[in-house]
């Protein structure tokens, strides 16, 4: 079922999509962002072991449906081609960042990989910071002192 999307020419199966509003809401609420020149990436763990994509292309920025759909196609293709390089087990929500700057596929792929890892690192760091102090494993220094 779950595999690489790279070898599937028209493949963007349902398991690779963020489809439910509750998943988008969770990404907006808990996710961490990384901004680039073409896109903003929001990353949040999904506990599924697969990376999924959600898209947000605003009507205020891209007025025509044809333009919005074109931008979404480029973003989906960038995700499909970069799938193996993206962090695993993460929901990624991509937002078209610049008004009237149509994303280019090659540069979008590079930016997507870089920003998805950056946003995911920020998410992980926030998760660790939110843990209570007594739930963290003891540091190696403190274990040596108790002997």
How far apart CA 40 and CA 97 sit, in angstroms, is 6
Domain count, the chain: 1
Does this model's pTM top 0.85? no
Q: Is residue 56 part of a domain?
A: yes
Q: Is residue 135 part of a domain?
A: no
- Residue listed under structure tokens 């480029």: 74
Q: Is residue 130 part of a domain?
A: no
Q: What range defines the domain where residue 100 resides?
A: 31-122
Q: Is residue 2 part of a domain?
A: no
Kindly report the CATH number assigned to the domain that includes residue 35: 3.30.230.10
pLDDT by 10s per residue, the chain, length 147: 455 665 556 677 888 999 999 999 999 999 999 999 889 999 999 988 899 999 998 888 888 899 889 999 999 999 999 999 999 999 999 998 776 667 789 999 999 999 999 999 999 999 888 777 666 566 555 555 544
């Amino acid at each position: 079922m779950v595999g690489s999307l790279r070898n599937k020419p028209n493949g963007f199966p349902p398991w690779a999509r963020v489809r439910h509003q509750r998943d988008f809401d969770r990404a907006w609420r808990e996710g961490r962002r990384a901004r680039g020149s073409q896109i903003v990436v929001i990353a949040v763990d999904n506990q599924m072991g697969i990376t999924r994509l959600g898209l947000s292309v605003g009507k205020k920025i891209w007025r025509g449906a044809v333009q919005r759909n074109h931008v979404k196609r480029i973003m989906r293709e960038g995700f499909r081609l970069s799938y193996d390089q993206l962090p695993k087990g993460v929901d990624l929500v991509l937002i078209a960042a610049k008004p009237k700057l149509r994303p280019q596929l090659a540069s979008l792929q590079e930016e997507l990989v870089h920003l998805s890892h950056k946003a995911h690192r920020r998410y992980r760091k926030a998760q660790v910071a939110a843990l209570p102090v007594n739930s963290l494993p003891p540091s190696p220094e403190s274990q040596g002192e108790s002997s």
